[in-house]
Structure 1
Amino acid sequence: MKYVVFCMFLMFFSLLSSAQENVVVRKVKFRGNKHFPNSRLKDEITLESSNWFKQKILGKEPVSYNSKLYYDDIKRLKVFYQKAGYYHVRFEKPGVVVTKNKKVKLTLYVTEGEPIVISGISYQVDSVYRLGEVLGSGEQRNILFRSEASESKIFRDEDISKDRLTIAEVFYDEGYPFAVVDPKLDVDTVKNTTKLNWDINRGPLTYFGPTNVVGNSRIRTESILRQLAYEEGEIWSKKKIDQSQKNIYSQGNYRVASVKTQIEQQPVDTLPMQILINEAPRWSARFGAGYGREDKLRAFTDFQYLSFITNTGRLNFYAKHSGLEPYNVYVKFSQPSFLFPMNTLTLHPFAQQQDEPGYKLDKVGYNVTFLQNFSKELNTSIGIIFEDVSVDTSGFSESNTSQEVESYYKKRGIVIGGIYNNADPILDPVQGFAISFNTKTNDIIWGSEMPFFRLLGEFKTYLGIRRGVVLGLKGKIGGIKRTDDNTFIPYEERFFAGGSHSVRGWSRSNLGPHDENETPIGGNSLLESSVEFRFDVGRKMKLALFADAGNVWAKSFSYRINDLHYAAGAGFKIKTAIGPAGLDFARPVFDDAKNWQVHFNIGHTF
């Protein structure tokens, strides 16, 4: 009966709207939608409003209205609502208005109805067991805490699909690669509720069989097998397979490194493994060039030679030129899997010149660093660095030069750092957070001429408010202090604020202490924060509204909240394969300085 009524409605509307066929759509709006905004519903339909901005700036062709497009859109909207739990959704007779310039304004009237709500969730394993009888408490929490569906929540197809994979992965990691997970529903259309019962068939407990390596010629099989997170005869685990693949690929010698289970058609208790290797060429080179408002013309080259000295060693020769780094040249030898599968030892001699607004220096030296990756999200490092530094003091005032500047010094220090980053996706995050820290000591252990310690921490988080709208927040704090009676801190170790990745109402390094010649001289304490709203405008463009705050102080570990400087502005980004690229426009607020700053960036500022 409902189908007959719907068909009669479509026939009536077809007669009503025949005069408006093939007329450009000027505007589409919805009425009666309470649970989904207009913007979300418009994502599901083909009939898209047209205006000058979309046509001329975004390059979108106008959409012409016809009844077939309308019928298809109604079907898509009904499917969308039903997948979201609104099984009783109805669409009433639409409003169609033709404007004087022969364009259509379309109003779609929605009656959403009451959603289907989950009244209970149960689990049954192999038809006889409860979840707690086959899984430990940790695995049960993994399912319960990661599940999207829960009691009293609206039943959504998307949640069920995600939970189905979540449950299956838990059993995969417990040694059941043939596990089958099915949702069984008991729907009450009168009460608008459903009971959700997960029916889980584990299949046989399975073990790792022998591992065969295919495709390697230069890298020894033993070097690859050392990276495995499992041994033959252990209980099969998808988590260990994923970790093994990451361990192998981290050696940096492969185009492809794939660890696969050779699944049999019929369930068995032992599965052989295969590692498919496609080695990277021994010689490779990268070149790049670009232009930025701060670093001007920049160019770099990077040559890499694989299997250097050792079977998996890597040698890189890198050279770069820009306005901020007239030269930066280094050679780096990297030995992956130095002690454990996911660590790397690097030896890195370098020569570099820096030409910042506040200082100019040349330095040569080398560092030895031990990198440890604990997971995809967590990475740490510890290193020893040796540097000889020459500073050009001609740009500083006489008072500043006589009191605070040393033109030549040596540094010997230990650097420890770490970052945890689960922001996703990595190039244009819409959720997650990142927290990082870096500590550096100089001459404290050796007890030489310039003992100091330096701390820097940063926190960034991303909150997806709704589809196409993201709120980004950033906080950054740093401090540096001498441990003897001297006050001089090397310029390259001091903190500077202002610029495209700092407080954007100021040019690079120009926020903070200056000398008598108005040359920025940096400080020993840093505090910064930013808030940014990012909006999708079409498929290729983002707009941003932001506010930044921060300052640098001369005294070590001294932060004065009432002495912060503020800036606000807007920007736009074009989405590219390497991340967003665009411009930010900002100016100081609540401040005597009123100059606008323009910053070009590839990638988000944070």
Structure 2
Amino acid sequence: MKAIVLVILFVFGFALGWAQENLQVRTVKFRGNKHIQTYHLKEEVALESSSWVKQKIFGKEPVYYSRSLYNEDVKRLTVFYQKQGYLDVRFNEPQVELTKKNKVVLTIFIDEGEPVTISEISYQVDSLYQLDEVMRLQDQKKLLLQTQANNDKTFRDEDITNDQLLIAEAFYDYGYPYTRVNHHLQVDTILNTTAIMWQVTRGPLAYFGSTNIVGNSRVPSKNILRQIDYHEGEVWSKKKIDQTQKQIYNQGNYRVASVRANIGDEQPDTIPMHIQIREAPRWSVRFGAGYGREDKLRAFTDVQYLGFLTHTGRLNLYAKHSGLEPYNIYLKFSQPSFLFPMNTLTVHPFIQEENEPGYKLQKIGTNITFLQSFSKELNTSIGYVFEDVELDTTAFVANETVDYDETIYKKTGIVLGGIYNNADPILDPVQGYAVSLNIKTNGLLLGKEIPFYRILSEVKTYFGLRRGLVLALKGKMGGIKRTDDADFIPVEEKFFAGGSHSVRGWSRSDLGPRNENGVPIGGNSLLEASAEFRFDVARKLKFNVFMDAGNVWEKSFNYHITDLRYAAGFGLRLKTPIGPAGIDVARPVFDSENKWQLHFNIGHTF
């Protein structure tokens, strides 16, 4: 009797499994995955949920369940787990259920087992030396801090591949371009650990040879040779090659600037260098148009001419129109490598109209700026600014009486700026931080100018909590003060808060002091802070929730934490080649104001 029951159950189960073949997958679940996140596992399988959103909005085809497809997914998951250090992973019989609409709910049961951990890491160079015998202590520490595989950490194939490249590049910078790096594993199956021995074969020490440049016609070779970071006969270094390529690109005249070493199989000790140039067209035109809630219809055009005045000089004619800038027209002459390989001198005359919620003005002026890049992360600037400003009082102060000197005035001064930004990737950061500082002084050269100084600093930081989830934080502080006994400060130099890149529960410039007619007049102190969680909800779609805080105060460098205004909201971002684009919806909280604000954005707000 017992045997008959087992046969019936087997036949019933087989029939049920057969009946579920070629039915649409509704949901895929994972059970038992304690160490690997579910979203990582879903990226490895072909069986995936077929939701209405994926099909109708993103155009994905529905996925149908089959046992063979499941078995292929198990093979992929097994390889994935093994690469993460889980060599004993097991997959138990799945649970296949049918919904009322005859769709499959698949549950995959995983027994992960214990991971293989790293018990020891050692280095052997040329079968004779230890790492500290051939590498400076500072460079050794830098290498060990960058490596991903560490003692007591789970062994992962990705970490080994990453570290293999890091070790090789460290020796490239010591003049060994023929370095080969291999690893030997000693696995303890009882303790479930492995010892890693890195075996480095350096090959012969090499030196830079002569440099050959091809492809340039407009820019003379001597201008390009001034950008190289090495000298013939110097010890070979990959770091110097990478820096040379950056310095050549800084001239801004090339579509392609490839710097490479002519390394052959014979491994000579002197390596010729080859620079391949592809120059950009002398004339180029860019233009674009769009619409934003704050700046309304906007459009711009930018005409560039290369080789102006000098072989590497650039001249740009730029024109822009928007609701906030009815016109902004300027010429900009840029001379890269003005004194050093990674700096640029710019001369920038302009004419502009600003139409902000709190003021309207026209100005004409010139900026002369010296830009210096110290590294990929650190950039600085120092500049001289002259502006002749005419303020439209009808838009600013309505029926008030205004001093003539406060409506037509000149400004001239020095502007200092610096930014350190190691956030990565640049358009959609998941890690790193950015710190910026801008200092402006006014009241130089002309006796009747308005003497003041203005400071604005900002800090942004990004924490990748897990794949697809990022916490972004921002803090911003500013202050402006007259250096004489007068009170007047030009309205366009004051601080305003509220809007798509500020406190998003308010419209542009809506926070802070107002005049008796309710018009925003700006303040002399600014404080803002934001926290935002960013989630990946699809391959090219992000969802974000955030809280902003901030305010503007009338007195200089006078901040009141208890007087901050708060807003909370959510948004969507669509990933595009030029960065995320989307909308934010927010409203004030802890406040008598309760109106929702809608903001359209290109890029993240911070």
TM range (shorter): over 0.9
In 2, Cα distance between equivalents of 1:575 and 1:498: 25
Structure 1: which amino acid aligns with 2:429? P
RMSD, matched Cα: 1.5
Shift of 1:400: 5.6
TM-score scaled by structure 1?
A: 0.96
In 1, Cα distance between equivalents of 2:412 and 2:486: 17
Corresponding residue SS for 2:209: strand
Corresponding residue SS for 2:161: helix
Shift of 1:56: 2.5
Corresponding residue number in structure 2 for 1:302? 302
- 1:150-549 mapped onto 2 (5 Å cutoff): 150-397=150-397, 401-402=401-402, 406-443=406-443, 448-549=448-549
TM-score scaled by structure 2?
A: 0.96
Corresponding residue number in structure 1 for 2:135? 135
What are the ranges of 5 or more consecutive residues in structure 1 without an aligned counterpart?
1-11
Structure 2: which amino acid aligns with 1:76? R
What CA deviation, in whole Å up to 9, does each residue of 1:364-395 have, x standing for no partner?
01011100011111110000011100000113
Corresponding residue number in structure 1 for 2:120? 120
Answer whether contact 2:360 2:396 (CA < 8 A) is retained: no
Answer whether contact 1:444 1:452 (CA < 8 A) is retained: no
Label 1:26 to 1:231 Cα distance change in 2 as closer, same or farther (>3 A). same
What CA deviation, in whole Å up to 9, does each residue of 1:413-446 have, x standing for no partner?
0000011111111111111111101000001576
Structure 2: which amino acid aligns with 1:552? V
Q: Does 1:66 align with 2:66?
A: yes
Structure 2: which amino acid aligns with 1:264? G
Structure 2: which amino acid aligns with 1:302? D
Corresponding residue number in structure 1 for 2:583? 583
In 2, Cα distance between equivalents of 1:106 and 1:481: 66
In 2, Cα distance between equivalents of 1:60 and 1:398: 57
Answer whether contact 1:423 1:434 (CA < 8 A) is retained: yes
Mean CA deviation greater in 564-573 or 405-414: 405-414
Corresponding residue number in structure 1 for 2:3? none
What CA deviation, in whole Å up to 9, does each residue of 1:245-290 have, x standing for no partner?
0100110111111101111112221110000000011111111111
Structure 2: which amino acid aligns with 1:276? Q
Structure 2: which amino acid aligns with 1:468? G
Label 1:209 to 1:16 Cα distance change in 2 as closer, same or farther (>3 A). farther
In 1, Cα distance between equivalents of 2:270 and 2:371: 36
Answer whether contact 1:117 1:154 (CA < 8 A) is retained: yes
In 2, Cα distance between equivalents of 1:14 and 1:110: 22
Mean CA deviation greater in 560-569 or 42-51: 42-51
Corresponding residue SS for 1:78: helix
Mean CA deviation greater in 24-33 or 124-133: 24-33
Label 1:198 to 1:447 Cα distance change in 2 as closer, same or farther (>3 A). farther
In 2, Cα distance between equivalents of 1:400 and 1:92: 80
Answer whether contact 2:582 2:600 (CA < 8 A) is retained: yes
Shift of 1:37: 2.3
Answer whether contact 1:405 1:488 (CA < 8 A) is retained: no
Answer whether contact 2:437 2:456 (CA < 8 A) is retained: yes
Corresponding residue SS for 2:395: coil
Shift of 1:98: 2.0
In 1, Cα distance between equivalents of 2:229 and 2:245: 9
In 1, Cα distance between equivalents of 2:13 and 2:153: 36
In 2, Cα distance between equivalents of 1:416 and 1:573: 34
Answer whether contact 1:45 1:76 (CA < 8 A) is retained: yes
Corresponding residue SS for 2:394: coil
In 2, Cα distance between equivalents of 1:14 and 1:92: 17
Mean CA deviation greater in 349-358 or 395-404: 395-404
In 1, Cα distance between equivalents of 2:323 and 2:600: 15
Answer whether contact 1:215 1:278 (CA < 8 A) is retained: yes
Answer whether contact 1:91 1:108 (CA < 8 A) is retained: yes
Mean CA deviation greater in 391-400 or 463-472: 391-400
Shift of 1:38: 1.8
In 1, Cα distance between equivalents of 2:126 and 2:453: 60
In 1, Cα distance between equivalents of 2:14 and 2:202: 53
In 2, Cα distance between equivalents of 1:14 and 1:313: 76
In 2, Cα distance between equivalents of 1:405 and 1:45: 71
Structure 1: which amino acid aligns with 2:260? K
Structure 1: which amino acid aligns with 2:576? T
Corresponding residue SS for 1:509: coil
In 1, Cα distance between equivalents of 2:467 and 2:235: 41
In 1, Cα distance between equivalents of 2:479 and 2:403: 21
Label 1:499 to 1:383 Cα distance change in 2 as closer, same or farther (>3 A). same
Answer whether contact 1:44 1:73 (CA < 8 A) is retained: yes
Corresponding residue number in structure 2 for 1:49? 49
In 2, Cα distance between equivalents of 1:160 and 1:13: 44
Answer whether contact 1:396 1:517 (CA < 8 A) is retained: no
Shift of 1:206: 0.5
Structure 2: which amino acid aligns with 1:372? Q
Corresponding residue SS for 1:23: coil
Corresponding residue number in structure 2 for 1:599? 599
Answer whether contact 1:247 1:341 (CA < 8 A) is retained: yes
Label 1:364 to 1:101 Cα distance change in 2 as closer, same or farther (>3 A). same
Corresponding residue SS for 1:242: helix
What are the ranges of 5 or more consecutive residues in structure 2 without an aligned counterpart?
1-11
In 2, Cα distance between equivalents of 1:13 and 1:207: 72
Mean CA deviation greater in 395-404 or 116-125: 395-404
Label 1:299 to 1:399 Cα distance change in 2 as closer, same or farther (>3 A). closer
What CA deviation, in whole Å up to 9, does each residue of 1:505-546 have, x standing for no partner?
000001111111110000000000001111111112111101
Identity %: 66
In 2, Cα distance between equivalents of 1:96 and 1:198: 46
In 1, Cα distance between equivalents of 2:72 and 2:351: 64
